[in-house]
Amino acid sequence: MVSNDFPPLIELRGIRKRYGGGDKPEVEVLHGIDLDIRAGEFIAIVGTSGSGKSTLMHLLGCLDRPSSGSYRFAGEDVSTFGTDELAWLRREAFGFVFQGYHLIPTESARENVEVPAIYAGLSQDERMQRATNLLGRLGLSDKLNNRPNQLSGGQQQRVSIARALMNGGHIILADEPTGALDSRSGAEVMELLRELAGAGHTVILITHDRDVAAQAQRVVEIRDGRIVADNTIEIDRYQDEQEAFLHTRLSSLDIAQAREDSGTPFWQGLRETIRAAWRIMWIHRIRTSLTLLGIVIGVASVIVMLAIGEGTKQQVIDQMGSMGTTLMYLNSSVPSTGGPAGMITEEDLDEVARLPEINRVMPVIGSSILVRHQNVDKQIYVSASSYVMPMIYSWQVAQGRFFTEAEDRKLAPVVVLGYQAYRSIFPHLSDPVGQYLLIGTSPFEVIGVMAERGAESGSWNYDDMIIIPYRAGRARVYQAKEQPDFTVMEGVSMDQVQEAEDAVKALLLERHGREDVRIGNAAAKLKAQLETRDTMTRMLGLVAAVSLLVGGIGVMNVMLMTVRERTREIGIRMATGAREYDILSQFLIEAMLVTIVGGTVGVLLGLIIGALLIFWEIPVIFSFGVMIGAFSCAVITGLIFGYMPARTAARLDPVVALSSE
């Protein structure tokens, strides 16, 4: 018999347990249990089915709380413990062995044994070492990597005993451990429990079988929720010499630690959680990938839509750049009310130039005519235009100079050459300035050569033409023309092009008394085009956001399903010491892992589709920011939609979770 010098390890007084209440009828299962259990005892609780044994064991093991009565553990009142402190107690003090083994089906034997140590924060190496040793001692060295369904009942029960011993197993709580086993395996398990008791573990064995109970040192009989007998059987094996040994063993369990326990270090727990989550995802890979479709499509479409939007926008902006974003083109036209076409006079243009919305005005007359140098004739486009042309077209003079306003007013016969025109008229001359050209019938002096502009989108090539002053052109070359072919007007700013156009229209309407001019405005058209593109992009973005949302709901659905399927696993994890936080983070990380994979696949798919579009010459511009954004959206979606199922899991009652099928 163990000495009575130490206080009882477990002290139950007047413990009652009622089920039901509320809308269900209330039943009292335990009617006031008084029980002391001392450290190192090997005690059997025996009773018929339905007598309340399992209920008592759940209370003893802190899986459940009594309806009334007091439970002192090592002198501490357990009813004052919070859920995390109870988790600590289960993890550090108890080791459970169940009739149905309760192993996690997706984890190997070794990993199952390691579970309690994960929550105790043991390092991975120590954990593996210890689990391997324990399984070796129980004769399972060659089954380390077997899943529970690859083990016999007896082997599974030995794995669960190893798990009970993982964190020390001060108190082994075994509920019908032999109930599901054949007699030989049952005898082996009983032998193991006897050995553990002999080694100083406190063993509480619950059974309906009197022969099994008789192997314990003390037998407590329970009937209809009451203790009806408590016999101590003297067996030689349990001797007083163990007392000192027991004392040492129990002193390592410092109950005060329960209050300041912080559980698993975050990063260490994270690695383990990710590994387990990855395995679950792999096992359910078809289901997971179907769920992920929403996320993948959402992320990929956000990336592709915005890349196309950005690409076409850039294309339009490039076009605008080459056309000049502030330029408008003025023509006379036949008014819609009938009558002759309008006549735009020089006075009209002077007035237009005075408008505050207009920067510069440049009338143009041009056509392809014969130009002669010495005795060579060439057909060349001759543009009669004003001195502002280099400014309006942002076009530099390469050699010599452009003509001035004064020269224009004086009808000076001077000409500036486009680069290609210069090359074709003077193929061998390095400096054509000072040479004369016969344009139509009048001689013009070359005063400059323009810089080469290169091929550009648009109807004409600037490099092929030559430019003469507008008034000289009217007087000497284009005598038949009464007004410019067209007039280029430069607005003050791109944003006010429309206002400038309206101002010019109003001015000319006032001067002519009717609407007989037309103004073309490339910028406004392009701007409108850009705006419709923007709206399109926004709408497509909305579609993408909706598919992300659908993806999120899919994730939530799959997580709810997985929580329901794995309720028992959650119970097992709680019984081995997981806190609410551990369960919450496990399921949150699972949800996030799913969406991280979905987001990554989505980004890759987006890039592939983009590459195909580039191949088909559709302009796309990828944005790194968009990729990061879409990916983060996916992960945040996982977090948000995973939270509810994860919290559901964390809030489960350990006993309810354990007994679920």
51, interface contact from ligand ADP, Mg ion, none, CB < 5-8 Å by kind? ligand ADP
Q: What share of the chain is helix, strand, coil (3-state, %, to 5)?
A: 50, 20, 30
Residue 245 touching ligand ADP (CB under 6 A): no
- Stretch 170-199: interaction string toward ligand ADP, x if CB under 6 A: ------------------------------
For ligand ADP, the binding residues in 313-372 under the rule CB under 6 A are none
Nearer of residues 223 and 285 to ligand ADP, judged by Cβ = 223
Residue 567 touching ligand ADP (CB under 6 A): no
From the list 49-57, 345-353, 444-452, 617-625, the region that binds Mg ion by CB under 5 A is 49-57
Residue 298 burial class via C-beta count within 10 angstroms: exposed 0-12, middle 13-18, buried 19 and up: buried
Nearer of residues 27 and 542 to Mg ion, judged by Cβ = 27
Q: Please state, in angstroms and rounded to a whole number, the distance separating the CA atoms of residues 661 and 658.
A: 8
Rg for the chain, CA atoms, rounded: 46
From the list 49-57, 346-354, 367-375, 420-428, the region that binds ligand ADP by CB under 6 A is 49-57
Residue 102 touching ligand ADP (CB under 6 A): no
Phi, psi of 490 (to 5 degrees): -105, 120
Nearer of residues 54 and 325 to Mg ion, judged by Cβ = 54
Helix (H) or strand (E) holding 511, with range, is helix 497-512
264, interface contact from Mg ion, ligand ADP, none, CB < 5-8 Å by kind? none
- Please select the residue that binds ligand ADP; options are 54, 157, 207, 567, rule is CB under 6 A: 54
Residue 416 burial class via C-beta count within 10 angstroms: exposed 0-12, middle 13-18, buried 19 and up: buried
Nearer of residues 59 and 488 to ligand ADP, judged by Cβ = 59
Interface with ligand ADP (CB under 6 A), residue total 12
Nearer of residues 222 and 563 to ligand ADP, judged by Cβ = 222
- Kindly list the distances between the CA atom of residue 212 and the CA atoms of 158, 189, 628, in Å, as whole numbers in the listed order: 17, 11, 63
Q: Where are the beta strands (DSSP E) in 48-201?
A: 68-73, 76-77, 94-97, 171-175
Helix (H) or strand (E) holding 380, with range, is strand 376-385
Q: Which of 114, 387, 89 is nearest to 256 (CA)?
A: 89
29, interface contact from ligand ADP, Mg ion, none, CB < 5-8 Å by kind? ligand ADP
Nearer of residues 54 and 487 to ligand ADP, judged by Cβ = 54
Residue 51 touching ligand ADP (CB under 6 A): yes
Nearer of residues 49 and 149 to ligand ADP, judged by Cβ = 49
Nearer of residues 54 and 291 to ligand ADP, judged by Cβ = 54
Q: Which two tokens stand for residue 393?
A: 């077209």
Determine contact, residues 74/255, Cβ cutoff 8 Å: yes
Q: Which of 211, 104, 194 is nearest to 149 (CA)?
A: 104
DSSP assignment of 425-453, as one string? H-TT-S--TT-EEEETTEEEEEEEEEPP-
- Stretch 125-154: interaction string toward ligand ADP, x if CB under 6 A: ------------------------------
Q: Which of 65, 67, 15 is nearest to 36 (CA)?
A: 15
Nearer of residues 24 and 184 to ligand ADP, judged by Cβ = 24
Determine contact, residues 226/31, Cβ cutoff 8 Å: yes
- Please select the residue that binds ligand ADP; options are 7, 14, 21, 50, rule is CB under 6 A: 50
Determine contact, residues 29/19, Cβ cutoff 8 Å: yes
Residue 53 touching ligand ADP (CB under 6 A): yes
For the bound state, the minimum distance from the C-beta of residue 239 to Mg ion, rounded and expressed in Å, comes to 32
Rounded to the nearest 10°, the torsion over CA 149, 154, 159, 165 is: 160
For the bound state, the minimum distance from the C-beta of residue 172 to Mg ion, rounded and expressed in Å, comes to 17
Number of residues written out for the chain: 661
Mapped onto helix, strand or coil, the DSSP state of residue 171 is strand
Q: Please state, in angstroms and rounded to a whole number, the distance separating the CA atoms of residues 618 and 620.
A: 6
- Please select the residue that binds ligand ADP; options are 40, 52, 413, 491, rule is CB under 6 A: 52
Nearer of residues 115 and 174 to ligand ADP, judged by Cβ = 174
Nearer of residues 54 and 312 to Mg ion, judged by Cβ = 54
For the bound state, the minimum distance from the C-beta of residue 43 to ligand ADP, rounded and expressed in Å, comes to 16
- Please select the residue that binds ligand ADP; options are 40, 47, 432, 552, rule is CB under 6 A: 47
Q: Which two tokens stand for residue 573?
A: 């994890």
Nearer of residues 174 and 417 to Mg ion, judged by Cβ = 174
For the bound state, the minimum distance from the C-beta of residue 247 to Mg ion, rounded and expressed in Å, comes to 33
For Mg ion, the binding residues in 54-113 under the rule CB under 5 A are 54
201, interface contact from ligand ADP, Mg ion, none, CB < 5-8 Å by kind? none
- Stretch 17-46: interaction string toward ligand ADP, x if CB under 6 A: --xx------x-x-----------------
Dihedral (CA of 539, 541, 547, 553) sign: negative
- 522-565 vs 285-323: helix crossing angle, rounded to 10: 170
For Mg ion, the binding residues in 374-393 under the rule CB under 5 A are none
For the bound state, the minimum distance from the C-beta of residue 17 to Mg ion, rounded and expressed in Å, comes to 13
Residues in touch with ligand ADP (CB under 6 A) = 19-20, 27, 29, 47, 49-55
Residues in touch with Mg ion (CB under 5 A) = 54
